[in-house]
Amino acid sequence: MIGEKMIDKIKKFLTDTLYLKDIKCIFCNCELDKPSKYCVCDNCLKSLPYITGKVCAKCGEPIKSMATHCMRCKNHVERGFDFARARFLYDDKISKAIKDFKYYGKKYLGEYLSAFLYDLYVLEKIDAAVIIPAPISANSLKARGFNQTEILCKCFADAGLNVNTKCVIKRLETQNQASLNYKDRQTNLAGAFKVVGKSAVKNKRCLIVDDIFTTGATASEIGAVLKKAGATKVSVLTLCHELPDNVKN
C-alpha cells in the first residue's frame, strides 16, 4: 500500500511536471514572449482592474466625491483596522484566478499573486513589523490542504520581512462569508479569531494579508483582536476589493 507521504510526493511531481512555470499567462493562457514576475502577458497586465485615483482613507474603496471616506466608513461602520488597501477591483478575471488558486488545484498561482501584493506594499510605503496571513479554520485547512493567505505572503518572506503564521488563529468554525448578506457578515465572525502569541504583536505595527476585501468584516475582527493584544497599528492588504453594489444586502 502506498503511504500518504509517497502520495504527496507523487502529486507534487505531477504538478511540477505538468505545469511549466513562467511559460503561459495566468489569466489568458497565451504563451509569454518575455519573462514576467507576475507570469502575465502585456495585454492582460494592461487590462487588469487596478485601483487608481482617490480611495477611502480608511478602507481603500474607490470614491468619486470630494469626501475623504466612503459611505460605510463615514457612517461609522466598526473597523478594527486603521488602514486597508487593495491592488485590484474584484472582476471576473481576478475572481477566476483566485478561485483557481484556492479551490481548483492551481496552488502555483499564489506565488504570482503574491508579487502583486508585495508591490502594493512597496507602493503604499507600509511600515509593518509583523506580516500576518489571515488565518482559516482547522476544517477549512484540512479540506483545502493549505491556507491561501500564507502563500500570498511568499514574496514578503522572500524579501526578509517577518511573516508570522502562528500568532493569530481562527478558533471557531463559521459560515462561509460569501454565502451571507452584508448584515450577517458583520456578526458571523464575532469571537472567531484569537491572538495566541501576544509577544509577537504587542507594541508592534501589524499588517494583515488576505485575498478579498468585501465588507471588511474579516479584517475588522482580526484587527480588533490584534489591537486588544497590544498592536499599535493594524494595516490590511488584499489582492482585490469588491464594491458594495456587488455585495448582497
Q: Rounded to an integer, what distance in angstroms lies between the CA atom of residue 96 and that of residue 99?
A: 5
CATH assignment of 48-246?
A: 3.40.50
- pTM comes to 0.87
5-60 pLDDT, tens digit each? 666 666 555 554 444 466 899 999 999 988 899 999 999 999 999 999 999 999 99
The predicted structure's pLDDT at residue 174: 65
What mean pLDDT is predicted for residues 93-110?
Answer: 93
Cell numbers given for 137? 479554520
| Burial (Cβ within 10 Å: 0-12, 13-18, ≥19) of residue 175 | exposed
Cell numbers given for 215? 465588507
Which helix (H) or strand (E) segment holds residue 236: the answer is strand 233-241
Residue type present at position 117:
L
> Residue 197's pLDDT band (boundaries 50, 70, 90)?
confident
> Residue 77's pLDDT band (boundaries 50, 70, 90)?
confident
The predicted structure's pLDDT at residue 18: 47
Sorted by where each begins, the domain ranges of the chain are: 1-40, 48-246
Q: Are 196 and 167 in contact (CB under 8 A)?
A: yes
The predicted structure's pLDDT at residue 23: 83
